[in-house]
Structure 1
């Protein structure tokens, strides 16, 4: 048993409390990781604000990187000292989704401890749940080995943390879900952390035009730094009309990276005939998206979701590391602020205000 500081959500909506928690020793197939860096993601904010109902009490955070401290029995993938990135697309490797190449859809409970077992995390004898089976806002992680990927130790861990959610979600949606082709036209609605990764993913894929759409001029300026060829200020013009005018009829691929019913509908409306709109953002539970039916069958437009960039993270994340180390993937400019664990609530306030791409909590040793 070890003790560590963590950000715990006890009420939803609520506020994160910094507490000392108990972390059990790693059991079979489990890995204990010393956290080095953890990013603040908008999906964490959804739990904090009560837009999605989590199991409480909850250690929040899932965009995380660190160093392996210890391993349990039957673990042969990593060893102490390895650098790793966590990803909430935890996979069992045996279910129908895993064996057909879609591990990001796996929901098997076999990667959790059995009911009635001693919990991985606890406080005062009460089990603490882990966001995404990770719980990244903590000084230590205890996770199933299928929740992590080993990476090149040359990769800076503060930037590596971003790969496990924001980057794999955005770039993966381009590469894996939509399969953007060289020369294609692309529109991206929302230029926060995920949207910026969609922008640079489209650039890497060879898109001829990448149109960034946002309400904030500062984010549009940042999108140009990530490779956007044109920008649309949706606070000043009708975004759909502007994109269709720029492209003389619409784009081949549109991406919604905010998580709103309205912007999902706009992404579909921006498409040219035969185009594909991909919704990445977490639209609040219970919302319904309305489409013009004739566009589905006459214009053959498509609307699809993307879960974590349809990732195979043990394959995709090392490739992203190589792209970063080779100077082709920009992670440095994604980090708008570096904060401590004690500043996590202020970090989410800035995120809600739209003032940052990503804030990263730096732990000791970063």
Structure 2
């Protein structure tokens, strides 16, 4: 079938993207679903820094590629072997398919699925197939098994979680990335307990989801750190207890003074060495620093090793919030429905597919929190 999709053919084009237009809206071919695959009509798709990092070349991927990974939609057709989904079901897309059989999957860590990571790196579905092509027959790569900036997508059944149909698509789209990553880092990776203290460095959609998650988990203190005054203000409205300007040279000293030596759990979601340095330095003795941002592959941080020993410090990575999507995503949706995870407040812009390059300009400048493309 022919679909319209946002296709990236060149990484690293200059800003502003409204002029260089790295994403072209093309009519391309989508093959039908194979075994254990599902055709989904995309109804809403969020713009994420993970997409931006491919566009700007920080995280190279095979090109050409149809981008997009944070989305929700409606099942149209199921391939052979899919018995637990049917046409009409509402689903959220998850950007790491889990095979269910490799070592990490067997340990209950599907975010680290080895065949899933290999497929994502190669630009294929979990099956190894490429079902996208130009009208002239040129293969087009899949973005982390989703390619959701499109009217339709074929994805692995292992990339889908069924949704409560009463949740709007524009809100449901955020659960597959921003919510799983941010809230999951709090409750799964760090296992924040009621009464502990938390700081979040980097208040994009994922960071603000972590703020919301920390409040829901019962943190007694939630400190928000970002360069943007508007995002710091939003964090306070969401329930953060204090907010600090990450660009202030005295930020670390101010946070440590205000929190009497630092915080129990500090999360970094900016994807930069500078932000991680801030996060590490505002973590208290005996505390844990968690990074869930995705910096360029060559970014490094010189850890002061003596601190790890003398202060019993812990540094951890968190990918997709250490989530089991089929378990966690429905739980987070229920918390949202009960008003405990006000994810709807993260939605800052709604746009058309044709406006996607302008949307990534807003994301790059820090103007937007979470933008969602709405498909009629």
**If the length of structure 2 is used for normalisation, what is the TM-score?**
0.94
**Residue number in structure 1 paired with 2:18:** none
**Residue number in structure 2 paired with 1:60:** 67
1:279·1:305 contact (CA, 8 Å) conserved in 2? yes
Q: Distance between the aligned counterparts of 1:330 and 1:120, measured in 2?
A: 36
2:58·2:295 contact (CA, 8 Å) conserved in 1? no
The correspondence of residues 1-366 of structure 1 with structure 2, limited to 5 A, is: 2-14=1-13, 15-108=22-115, 112=125, 119-123=130-134, 124-364=136-376
1:268·1:302 contact (CA, 8 Å) conserved in 2? no
Unaligned 5+ runs, structure 2:
14-21
2:198·2:264 contact (CA, 8 Å) conserved in 1? yes
Secondary structure of the equivalent of 1:78?
coil
Work out the number of aligned pairs and report it. Answer: 361
Shift of 1:192: 1.1
- The one-character-per-residue Cα deviations of 1:147-205 (angstroms, maximum 9, x if unpaired) are 00001111111100000001110000001101111101111111111110110110011
Shift of 1:234: 2.5
Q: Distance between the aligned counterparts of 2:253 and 2:212, measured in 1?
A: 24
- The one-character-per-residue Cα deviations of 1:49-106 (angstroms, maximum 9, x if unpaired) are 1111111110111000000000011001210000000011210011111011000000
Q: Which runs of 4+ in 1 moved over 3 A?
A: 109-115
Q: Distance between the aligned counterparts of 1:18 and 1:112, measured in 2?
A: 22
Q: CA RMSD in A?
A: 1.3
Q: Distance between the aligned counterparts of 1:77 and 1:172, measured in 2?
A: 25
The answer to which of 46-55 and 102-111 deviates more is 102-111
**If the length of structure 1 is used for normalisation, what is the TM-score?**
0.96
Q: Distance between the aligned counterparts of 1:238 and 1:344, measured in 2?
A: 37
The answer to which of 104-113 and 48-57 deviates more is 104-113
Q: Distance between the aligned counterparts of 2:64 and 2:76, measured in 1?
A: 25
Q: Distance between the aligned counterparts of 1:152 and 1:259, measured in 2?
A: 32
